[in-house]
């Protein structure tokens, strides 16, 4: 069922959605004589369908203050590299252009050196009635927000826009797709109802804009490659062929709904089929496109059965991942696994591994298995990997590592360092799924224990392994 309404900003529907998505990050009071409302953009790097921005606009109107959007890219986050920085800057360049067209005040700061802090955020906060920011359980967002909220001179509100369904509607950790699926089904259509976004009513004065103590990067004129080269980050991981930003995401979405989505249930299993899956995980991870927009597009343009199959991935598994990382503080640890997995790992920890690889061999795709190596090469060169291969890629490390703990460390490192969708709820949920999270026990066998086994050799019966490995054989590059 498609949404039937477009809700105006400030309508009871919008206010109810915001109430379910917003939470106070500190107990500091709102400053009524502040000069502005500040939106600190972190994980939701877009202007459309952004619940934190919507709340900031409404608060600016309520307080009769102008709104300032502050967006900062620093070199201090985990696995900062040319790949991640370039993708983020490409998205920011589009945001700056759109903000100018929409009459929004957007200031982007690129901090180039580690350990430096020009305190631009705190200076802006000192002039604000309140600060609104994004809520997200991964990527360091939760930790950064908590640190800032402790020293902020005004109220800080965090609003989540990661999921289609407000996270508060699922107040406890769900343990499998089967438990969350019926709950999401009841909430899906109302959560997908679109909202008519707009700029705040009060524009900042020229004097206020001139007085903002922010050394903003002129994104319209910036040479992204040159700016990235000046940053103190890992320059050994090059920019990916995929371009960041909303326009590329929407082009990809348009193409997907007209091609791969028409036969999604068949084509999604074929990793050599570039159009068989949406390939939007990177743009979703950076918040450059809304998951709700993707879902509505699928419902509007695909045959019903194909759309539902896609939404089971897009909604059920994505929301399950968000729920897991929101409610389980151990979401990057084996401690997050169910009791039956813990018992299985304890019984099989000493099982003999036929082959083991250190991290260096894994990073350079130096294993005995060409399918695994092909998946790693795709990741190295493009920052992406097809999900059918990614499951096998992850499962294989249980067999090739000295311990389950080492397998997890290596997987998180490989994923977060090279994948554009790394450090995301989906990433951690998918990695832990390889160890039995969200799953059931199977017949016991060596090393696997009762964890679901997967065989690289048996993949030949599921998809065209030869075609895929030919694409990513030694010395080839992305098609």
Same domain, 126 and 11: yes
The token duo for 179 is 């438990």
Number of domain units in the chain? 3
The token duo for 399 is 């067999």
For residue range 395-423, what is the model confidence (pLDDT) as tens digits?
Answer: 999 999 999 999 999 999 999 999 999 99
Residue 145 domain-assigned (yes or no): yes
| Strand locations in 104-143 (E) | 105-110, 128-134
| pLDDT computed for residue 274 by the predictor | 86
Q: Compute the average pLDDT of residues 382-399.
A: 96
Same domain, 93 and 146: yes
**Confidence label for 92 from pLDDT (cuts 50, 70 and 90):** very high
Same domain, 262 and 316: yes
Q: Compute the average pLDDT of residues 192-201.
A: 96
Residue 178 domain-assigned (yes or no): no
For residue range 46-75, what is the model confidence (pLDDT) as tens digits?
Answer: 999 999 999 999 999 999 999 999 999 999
For residue range 320-370, what is the model confidence (pLDDT) as tens digits?
Answer: 999 999 999 999 999 999 999 999 999 999 999 999 999 999 999 999 999
Residue 188 domain-assigned (yes or no): no
Q: Give CA–CA dist 460/392, Å, rounded.
A: 12
Q: Is the pLDDT of residue 83 over 80?
A: yes
Residue 184 domain-assigned (yes or no): no
Mean pLDDT for all residues in the chain: 95
Residue 153 domain-assigned (yes or no): yes
Same domain, 355 and 413: yes
User: Tell me, what CATH number does 304's domain have?
Assistant: 1.25.40.80
| pLDDT computed for residue 479 by the predictor | 35
Angle 314-317-323 from CA coordinates, rounded to 5°: 115
Query: Which of these three, 271, 306, 327, is where a domain ends?
Result: 327
Q: Is the pLDDT of residue 477 over 50?
A: no
| Higher pLDDT among residues 238 and 474, named by residue | 238
Give the residue numbers spanning the domain of 428. 334-471
Closest CA to 247 of 454, 33, 47, 453: 47
In this structure, is the dihedral angle defined by the CA atoms of residues 237, 241, 243 and 248, taken in order, positive or negative? negative
Residue 239 domain-assigned (yes or no): no
Please, are residues 445 and 453 in contact by the beta-carbon 8 Å criterion? yes
Same domain, 293 and 367: no
Q: Compute the average pLDDT of residues 238-247.
A: 98
Q: Compute the average pLDDT of residues 138-155.
A: 97
Q: Is the pLDDT of residue 390 over 70?
A: yes
Same domain, 294 and 342: no
Backbone φ and ψ for 105, nearest 5 degrees, come out as -90, 110
Query: Which of these three, 301, 327, 353, is where a domain ends?
Result: 327
What is the value of pTM for the model shown?
0.96
Query: Which of these three, 310, 327, 344, is where a domain ends?
Result: 327
Residue 476 domain-assigned (yes or no): no
**Confidence label for 278 from pLDDT (cuts 50, 70 and 90):** very high
Backbone φ and ψ for 10, nearest 5 degrees, come out as 95, -5
Q: Give CA–CA dist 295/298, Å, rounded.
A: 5
Same domain, 106 and 13: yes
Same domain, 13 and 146: yes
Please, are residues 348 and 449 in contact by the beta-carbon 8 Å criterion? yes
Same domain, 338 and 260: no
Please, are residues 22 and 55 in contact by the beta-carbon 8 Å criterion? yes
CB crowding 225-259: b at 16 or more within 10 Å, else e: eebbeebebeeebebbebbbbbbbbbebbeebbee
Same domain, 30 and 133: yes
Q: Compute the average pLDDT of residues 80-104.
A: 98
The token duo for 194 is 């679109």
DSSP 72: E
For residue range 209-224, what is the model confidence (pLDDT) as tens digits?
Answer: 999 989 999 999 999 9
User: Tell me, what CATH number does 129's domain have?
Assistant: 3.40.50.620
| pLDDT computed for residue 117 by the predictor | 74
Same domain, 384 and 437: yes
């Amino acid at each position: 069922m498609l949404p039937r309404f477009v809700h105006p900003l400030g309508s009871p529907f919008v206010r109810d959605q915001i109430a379910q998505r917003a939470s106070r990050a500190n107990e500091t009071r709102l400053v009524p004589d502040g000069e502005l409302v500040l939106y600190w953009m972190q994980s939701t790097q877009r202007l459309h369908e952004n619940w934190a921005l919507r709340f900031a606009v409404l608060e600016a109107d309520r307080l009769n203050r102008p709104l300032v959007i502050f967006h900062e890219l620093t070199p201090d986050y985990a696995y900062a590299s040319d790949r991640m920085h370039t993708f983020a800057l490409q998205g920011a360049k589009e945001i700056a252009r759109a903000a100018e067209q929409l009459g929004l005040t957007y200031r982007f700061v690129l901090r180039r050196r580690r350990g430096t802090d020009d305190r631009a955020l705190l200076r802006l906060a000192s002039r604000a009635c309140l600060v609104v920011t994004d809520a997200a359980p991964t990527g360091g967002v939760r930790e950064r927000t908590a640190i800032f909220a402790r020293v902020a001179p005004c109220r800080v509100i965090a609003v989540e826009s990661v999921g289609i369904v407000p996270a508060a509607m699922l107040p406890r950790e769900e343990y499998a797709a089967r438990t969350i699926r019926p709950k999401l089904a009841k909430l899906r259509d109302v959560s997908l109802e679109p909202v008519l976004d707009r700029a705040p009513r009060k524009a900042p004065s020229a004097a206020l804009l001139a007085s903002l103590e922010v050394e903003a990067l002129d994104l319209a004129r910036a040479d992204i490659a040159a700016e990235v080269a000046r940053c103190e980050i890992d320059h050994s991981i090059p920019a990916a062929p995929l371009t960041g930003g909303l326009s590329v995401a929407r082009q990809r979405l348009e193409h997907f709904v007209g091609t791969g989505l028409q036969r999604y249930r068949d084509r999604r299993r074929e990793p050599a089929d570039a159009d068989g899956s949406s390939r939007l995980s990177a743009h979703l991870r950076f918040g450059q496109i809304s998951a709700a927009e993707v879902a509505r597009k699928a419902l509007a343009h695909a045959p019903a059965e194909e759309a539902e199959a896609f939404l089971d991935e897009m909604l059920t598994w994505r929301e399950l991942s968000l729920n897991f990382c929101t409610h389980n503080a151990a979401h990057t640890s084996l401690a997050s696994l169910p009791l039956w997995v813990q018992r299985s790992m304890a019984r099989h920890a000493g099982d003999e591994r036929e082959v083991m690889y250190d991290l260096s061999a894994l990073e350079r795709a130096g294993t005995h298995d060409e399918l695994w190596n092909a998946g790693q090469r795709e990741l190295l060169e493009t920052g992406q990997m097809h999900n059918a291969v990614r499951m096998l890629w992850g499962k294989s490390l249980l067999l090739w590592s000295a311990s389950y703990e080492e397998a997890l460390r290596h997987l998180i490192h490989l994923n977060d360092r090279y994948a554009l969708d790394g450090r995301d709820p989906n990433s951690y949920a998918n990695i832990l799924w390889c160890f039995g999270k969200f799953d059931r026990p199977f017949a016991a066998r060596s090393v696997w224990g009762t964890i679901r086994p997967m065989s690289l050799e048996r993949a030949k019966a599921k998809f065209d392994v030869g075609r895929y490995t030919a694409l990513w054989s030694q010395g080839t590059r992305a098609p």
